[in-house]
Structure 1
Amino acid sequence: MGTTGYRDLAAQLREAIKAGEHQPGSTLPKQDELAELYGVNVKTVRQAIGLLESEGLVTPIRRRGTVVRERPPMRRLGTERYAKRKWKYGDTVAFVADREASGRAWKLTDQTNTVKLIEADAEVLDAYGLDPGSMVYERARVVRDAGRPTHTLTSYYLPQHVEGTPLVDPAAGPAGRGGGFAVLTLQGYEPDHMTETLSARMPRPDETELLELPSGEPVIDLVRHTYTADNVLIEFARGVHAASRFSWTYEFKLPD
């Protein structure tokens, strides 16, 4: 096949995976079998599989072989996941809205929480316009789907907004009925609008371990600012999402 033979082989295997010839969760034939099937040497097969691994299509698993990754992405809703009828007039918090839209089973303890009063870092200081040394509450969540972590989300709140509320309670699950947005509303800070900024990158080693990411999988960073109708910032949040575990869905009216 020449010096670029492994790319040709990777293309053929990629198409076979996409066509369903190798189902998610199944194991590809052994490398020597692939070499014989496609008329190449084992080195070419190894390079082709390395390329597919870097693309997130397969994962080498010890004592099992090269496994085709399962890609049943969960729908992550856009504005609809934050609809007030869900949390203000009901009890459906954002991560539950995603699971219901995706037909997934869920339980409130799929979200675990760690809460600390910390000194705000530079990004949090800038978001809130605080002076260096200011303290904020950090509420860090890990969210799971059928036991597998899908993402982390860490929110930062001003103490005067949340002191003594369920948002500083580290118990697993949302912060009471309707979650954090309902808590802020009861405090007189009803969420009205927000911005979300997304970016992609490769994970740090600790994120790979926490999210149980296979080799080569990127993450999606999310930064969220939530405001009242008077433009008071009431939540600054940073999330890290396993890229293959979500499809991001946005529905909106086109502006004039």
Structure 2
Amino acid sequence: MRESAETTPSRQIADSLRSDIASGMLPPGGRLPPVRDLAERYGVSRNTAAKAVAILKAEGLVTARPGSGAYVREPYPIRRLGPDRYARNRWQVTTVDAYADAQKGSAPAQQQGGQTQEVGLVEADEAVAAALGVDVGSQVYERARVMTREGVPTHTMTSYYRQEDVEGTPIADPRPGIAGRGGGFAILAERGLDPHEITEDLSARMPTTEEALLLELPTGEPVVEVCRTARTADGRVIEYARGVHAASRFIWSYTYPIPD
């Protein structure tokens, strides 16, 4: 009978190493034994030992450093995202609360946020055109940002606007940082386009090669794509945005009444 994938030697070695990581015997940032040492320890070929390490890399538990070996991935502070991040009193805030782990009891630490950005006119694709109510191929403003915390990239956010809504405003200014004194939403509000309602659609997927490099993701880590539509009180869409978030660095948390 053919041996199942769960009981192959490489899987067994990976399970053993995973337990060592969970217990702290292999601490964050710690170097895994070389493949040749693993092969000797478990009495297997180097190819089998290498497969075990590859399994842990694919799971995002370890990362490879060329010419040095494989190391236990160091945990990254987690940021909880919910509706409160869009509160008007936070439009000027550039610091965020990050947690050591996913448990709600852990104390938050403040981290300084930042962003780089590119702004320009682009042709609206089907999703952008449908959201903004313009023709496909119409010129719209694209504001593409890479968000950082303490200088480390965490996610991207690319927003799209009708030209007439943002022409001549700080939203169309390509300089890094938040737009104007309070960010994009504050600028829209100053123009009488007060953000009132937001719809977010979340989906998980594997990153593209470009996204993995941009966000410095280890092999095997998925991303969460967020599509955001912001509207005024009368239903006019004033922004459509797409964000790509490193899955291990965020938790989305919502509290709401159960509909009838």
TM-score by length of 2: 0.88
For residue 188 of structure 2, what is the aligned residue in structure 1?
Answer: 184
Structure 2: any 5+ residue segments left out of the alignment? 100-106
**Deviation string for 1:88-129 (max 9, x for gaps)?**
xxx215xx345599524315xx20111001121111011122
- Verify: 1:69 aligned to 2:69, yes or no: no
1:25 pairs, out of 29, 35, 51, with: 29
Distance, in Å, in 2 between the alignment partners of 1:253 and 1:167 is 32
- 2:178 is paired with a residue whose SS is coil
1:251 matched to 2:254? yes
Mapped to 2, the partners of 1:105 and 1:73 lie a distance apart of 10
SS in 1 for 2:41: helix
Contact 1:74–1:102 (CA under 8 A) maintained in structure 2: no
User: Could you say which residue in structure 1 is the equivalent of 2:13?
Assistant: 9
1:73-98 deviation line (CA, Å, top 9, x unaligned) = 321321111122222xxx215xx345
- Contact 1:77 1:98 (8 Å CA) reproduced: no
- The one-character-per-residue Cα deviations of 1:141-185 (angstroms, maximum 9, x if unpaired) are 011223221111000011111111110011111002221111111
Which aligned segments of 4 or more residues in structure 1 are displaced greater than 4 angstroms? 98-102
Structure 1 residue 8 displacement after superposition = 1.3
* Segment of structure 1 superposing worse, 32-41 or 46-55: 32-41
Unaligned runs of 5+ in 1: none
Distance 1:149 1:236, change over 3 A: same
1:173 alignment partner, SS class: coil
Q: 2:134 aligns with which of 107, 123, 130?
A: 130
CA separation in 2, counterparts of 1:40 and 1:102? 44
Deviation digits for residues 2-29 of structure 1, max 9, x if unmatched? Answer: 7711111111111211222212211111
Conserved 8 A contact 1:56-1:217: yes
Matched residues in 1 for 2:234 and 2:23: separation? Answer: 52
Question: Could you say if the C-alpha distance between residues 141 and 99 of structure 1 is closer, same or farther in structure 2, counting changes exceeding 3 Å?
Answer: farther
RMSD: 2.0
Quote how far apart the aligned CAs of 1:253 are: 2.6
* Matching of residues 182-221 of structure 1 within 5 Å: 182-221=186-225
Distance 1:193 1:18 in 2: 42
- Give distance in 2, aligned partners of 1:137 and 1:195: 20
Correspondence 1:45 to 2:81? no
Residue 223 of structure 1 corresponds to 227
